[in-house]
Amino acid sequence: MNRWLFGDQLGPHFADDHLAEGGRVLMVESRRVFARRRFHRAKAHLVLSAMRHRAAELGDRVDYVAAPTYAAAVREAGGPLQVVHPTSYAAVGLVQRLSADVEIERLPARGFVTTRADFTTWAEGRGGRRLVMEDFYRDARRRHGVLLEDDGEPAGDRWNFDADNREPPPKGAQTLGVSAPPWPVEDEIDEQVRADLDGWERDGDVAFVGRDGPRLFAATRAEALVVLDHFVSHRLPDFGAHEDAILEGDPWMAHSLLSAPLNLGLLDPLEVVQRAEAAYRSGEAPLASVEGFVRQVMGWRDYVWHLYWHLGEDYRDRNALAAAGELPDWFDGLDGSATRARCLSHALDGVAERGWVHHIPRLMVLGSYALQRGWAPAVLTDWFHRSFVDGYDWVMVPNVVGMSQHADGGVLATKPYTSGGAYLNTMSDHCGGCALNPRVRVGEDACPFTAGYWWFLDRHRETLAGNHRMARAVKGLDRLTDLDDLVAQEEARGSSAP
**Interface residues toward ligand FAD, by CB under 6 A:** 255-259, 262-263, 296-297, 300-301, 304, 358-359, 362-363, 367, 384, 388, 390-391, 395-396, 399-400, 403-404
Backbone angles phi, psi at 446, to 5 degrees: -65, 135
Q: How many CB atoms lie within 10 A of CB 181?
A: 20
Please give the residues from 343 up to 362 whose contact with ligand SF4 meets the rule CB under 6 A: 343
Of 84, 69, 57, which is closest to residue 3 (Cα–Cα)?
Answer: 84
Contact present, 268 and 214 (Cβ < 8 Å): no
Which of ligand FAD, ligand SF4, none has residue 119 at its interface (CB below 5 to 8 Å by kind)?
Answer: none
Among 27, 44, 360, 431, binds ligand SF4 (CB under 6 A): 431
Of 82 and 425, nearer to ligand SF4 (C-beta) is 425
Of 154 and 350, nearer to ligand FAD (C-beta) is 350
Which of ligand FAD, ligand SF4, none has residue 342 at its interface (CB below 5 to 8 Å by kind)?
Answer: ligand SF4
Of 96 and 414, nearer to ligand FAD (C-beta) is 414
Please give the residues from 385 up to 424 whose contact with ligand SF4 meets the rule CB under 6 A: 421, 424
* CB contact set of 100 (below 8 Å; sequence gap of 6+): none
Of 4 and 6, nearer to ligand FAD (C-beta) is 6
The helix/strand/coil state of 468 is: coil
Min separation Cβ 23 and ligand FAD, Å: 29
Min separation Cβ 486 and ligand FAD, Å: 26
Q: Counting contacts by CB under 6 A, is residue 369 touching ligand SF4? A: no
- 10 Å CB burial of residue 128 (0-12, 13-18, 19+) is exposed
Separation of alpha carbons 443 and 496, rounded Å: 16
Of 264, 355, 356, 354, which is closest to residue 50 (Cα–Cα)?
Answer: 264
Which of ligand FAD, ligand SF4, none has residue 395 at its interface (CB below 5 to 8 Å by kind)?
Answer: ligand FAD
Min separation Cβ 418 and ligand SF4, Å: 12
Contact present, 384 and 396 (Cβ < 8 Å): yes
Contact present, 425 and 431 (Cβ < 8 Å): yes
Min separation Cβ 492 and ligand SF4, Å: 17
For residue 237, say if its preceding peptide bond is cis, omega within 30 degrees of 0.
no
Min separation Cβ 330 and ligand FAD, Å: 19
The helix/strand/coil state of 59 is: helix
Q: Three-state secondary structure along 182-239? A: CCCCCCHHHHHHHHHHHHHHHCCCCCCECCCCCCCCCCCHHHHHHHHHHHHHHHHHHC
For residue 263, give Cα distances in angstroms to 9, 137, 463, 473.
Answer: 8, 19, 36, 37
Contact present, 235 and 65 (Cβ < 8 Å): no
Contact present, 469 and 457 (Cβ < 8 Å): no
Min separation Cβ 217 and ligand FAD, Å: 9
Min separation Cβ 252 and ligand FAD, Å: 7
Which of ligand SF4, ligand FAD, none has residue 358 at its interface (CB below 5 to 8 Å by kind)?
Answer: ligand FAD
Separation of alpha carbons 309 and 30, rounded Å: 25
For residue 238, give Cα distances in angstroms to 230, 235, 244, 273, 295.
Answer: 13, 6, 13, 16, 15
End-to-end CA distance of the chain: 57
Contact present, 231 and 257 (Cβ < 8 Å): yes
Which of ligand SF4, ligand FAD, none has residue 116 at its interface (CB below 5 to 8 Å by kind)?
Answer: none
Among 436, 451, 464, 497, binds ligand SF4 (CB under 6 A): 436
Of 102 and 380, nearer to ligand FAD (C-beta) is 380
Which of ligand SF4, ligand FAD, none has residue 447 at its interface (CB below 5 to 8 Å by kind)?
Answer: ligand SF4
Of 247 and 396, nearer to ligand FAD (C-beta) is 396
Among 11, 269, 350, 448, binds ligand SF4 (CB under 6 A): 448
Which of ligand SF4, ligand FAD, none has residue 391 at its interface (CB below 5 to 8 Å by kind)?
Answer: ligand FAD
Q: Counting contacts by CB under 6 A, is residue 447 touching ligand SF4? A: yes
- Helix H segments across 246-296? 259-263, 269-281, 287-294
Site map for ligand SF4, 204-243, x if CB under 6 A? ----------------------------------------
Contact present, 389 and 46 (Cβ < 8 Å): yes
Of 190 and 238, nearer to ligand FAD (C-beta) is 238
Of 388 and 423, nearer to ligand FAD (C-beta) is 388
Separation of alpha carbons 56 and 19, rounded Å: 15
Among 25, 42, 434, 497, binds ligand SF4 (CB under 6 A): 434
Q: Which stretch binds ligand SF4 (CB under 6 A): 92-100, 242-250, 300-308, 434-442?
A: 434-442
Binding residues for ligand SF4, per CB under 6 A?
341-343, 421, 424-425, 430-431, 434, 436-438, 447-449
